[in-house]
Amino acid sequence: MDELVGRIALTGISRGPFQNAYLGYFIDEKHNGKGYATAAVQICVKNAFNEIGLHRVEAGVMPKNLPSIRVLEKSGFRHEGLAKKYLKINGAWEDHNLFAITAE
């Protein structure tokens, strides 16, 4: 049976001197820990640099989401800081660790 296990997207693509996009992804809970997110992030970043011509991809992750942080670290992202009250999730403003990777 074919089944959707997650989603990944580059959004807010900026051109000009920035050449940046924001990465967002999720994997259905029953498929966590199978390497799908890591594979998807690595393919998406490769395409962002090689096909789209971006220089930088950013991602934000809630500090308590350790599996997602590990996905980004395994994919070569570096931690750049903490954004306080970054996104409103389920009615609450949540802090996010900010990660990025650049083409070089």
CATH numbers and ranges of domains, the chain: 6-102 (3.40.630.30)
Sequence-ordered strand ranges (E) for the chain: 6-14, 20-27, 56-61, 78-89, 92-102
pTM greater than the 0.85 cutoff = yes
| Per-residue pLDDT at 69 exceeds 80 | yes
Model confidence at 2, pLDDT cuts 50, 70, 90, reads confident
Between CA 20 and CA 66 the distance in angstroms is 24
Instruction: For residue 53, give the nearest of 16, 92, 97 by alpha carbon.
Output: 16
Cβ–Cβ under 8 Å, residues 60 and 99 = yes
The average pLDDT across 67-96 equals 97
